[in-house]
Amino acid sequence: MNEKEEAFNDIERQSQQRKEAVMATTKRKTYEQGLIDGQQVAGHDGAIFAVRNSTIEEVAQHIEKLKGFGADTVSGLAIHIREMKK
């Protein structure tokens, strides 16, 4: 690898590190402000429930993509999973 390629790779690595640092800071500030998925939540418990509900919704969406079962079964599973939200 020549000197220019090494310099370019170094700049790319530094850029990626900065991007990761900004994303980590943004996530921390969002959590500290009580914002989850753009919604204001009250206190620590509210943040936990918001994350939980978001995760449950994500699981339900993946269940709806299942092909090995009938549409009624998949819909029933997704509904059951969504009922777990608090």
pLDDT per residue as tens digits for the range 11-30: 888 888 888 887 777 666 55
Of 26, 44, 85, 82, which is closest to residue 74 (Cα–Cα)?
Answer: 82
- pTM listed for this prediction: 0.48
- pLDDT tens-digit readout, 41-61: 556 666 777 788 889 999 999
What are the structural domain ranges in the chain? 1-32, 41-86
CB atoms within 10 A of CB 32: 9
